[in-house]
Amino acid sequence: MDNFVDERDYKLLEADKYTFFVLKQIMGGACRLLLSDHKRMIVCFTKPPFPVWIWTPDDAAGEEMEQAYLLAKENGLITGGYNFNVKYSLAEYLIKRAAEDGIKMSKSMNIFAYDCFEPQKPDMKADGTIYRCESKDLDELVLFLDMFHKEVGIDQKDIAGYKEDARAHIDSGKMYFWKDGQGNNVASCKYEPTGDMASVNLVFTRPDFRRKHYAENLVYQVTMKAKEEGYVPMLYTNADYVASNACYEKIGYVCKGKLCTISIISGGNSIFRR
């Protein structure tokens, strides 16, 4: 296994460009661990507390899955308390194999990957309008990032970490709030281009302002901005959030891939809670 990736790896991911869109993004940056044979396996880990990504082809054999497990174990990832984002077949193997070593792992999230070639305007128009975040909105965006990550229960940082992220999001010019009719920032969303695609993420509505169609209208508007710039909008969802998925489907998103997150179990409870 080499500790670098090249064009061969990006070509491999073309077959799974939706489900492993994030992997394609992060493996080109600074990673604590990056392993690839450029043919059948890519292992990528940035830093705590982020997920470990392992790509294998759909027809991965048992010995290849065993290699994935051993690589993860040898590098301290199995016992490190991290999440793993993998295909379902590899997830089942890792859970079973870890059990043989006395390690309990469990599926903690089912993930759908969607794209949107034909955005559909929401049936219900929300009061207010889309607003692009500016430098003066830094503290407000930090608050949104904190609320978002606490609610999903993963990738949590301290305030300094969120502030660094917020500055980058604002500087990108692709971070948005939805302001209601009274001028309150009630929902957030951004898009992040990579190649010919743009990931729509950080979709969050403040609890006191939910069920008023703010997120639906904001995601549609952000989707249109990405599309107008020539990108194919895509997003990940928690497959168990039926209402959210129905919302995305109403505005034109179509499910194109599936993967799952598995986590170490400690005392009967997943380390990472949703």
pLDDT tens digits, 2-13: 999 999 999 999
Residue 101 confidence (pLDDT) above 80: yes
Q: Report, as an integer, the average pLDDT of 105-109.
A: 91
* CATH assignment, 129-252: 3.40.630.30
Going by pLDDT thresholds of 50, 70 and 90, the confidence category of residue 264 is confident
Tokens of 89: 């077949």
- Return the higher-pLDDT residue of 125 and 47: 125
Indicate if the pLDDT at residue 166 is higher than 70.
yes
pLDDT at position 270: 35
Distance CA 137, CA 75 (A): 40
pTM: 0.82
Backbone angles phi, psi at 127, to 5 degrees: -70, 150
Answer for the pair 209, 184: CB distance below 8 angstroms, yes or no. yes
The pLDDT value recorded for residue 48 is 76
Residue 154 above 80 pLDDT? no
Average pLDDT score over residue span 56-84: 94
Task: Please give the pLDDT value at position 47.
Answer: 82
Q: Cα(151)–Cα(267) distance, rounded to whole angstroms?
A: 22
Rounded distance, CA 61 to CA 41, Å?
11
Label residue 266 by pLDDT band (50, 70, 90). low
For residue 68, pLDDT over 80 is answered with yes
Confidence class for position 273, pLDDT limits 50, 70, 90:
very low
pLDDT at residue 241 in the model = 84
pLDDT at 226 over 60: yes
More confident residue, 25 or 162: 162
Report pLDDT for 16. Answer: 92
CB atoms within 10 A of CB 184: 15
Arithmetic mean of pLDDT over the chain: 92
pLDDT of residue 139 exceeding 70, the answer is yes
Q: Mean of the pLDDT values across residues 192-204? A: 93
Q: What is the pLDDT of residue 267?
A: 43
- pLDDT (average), residues 158-176: 96
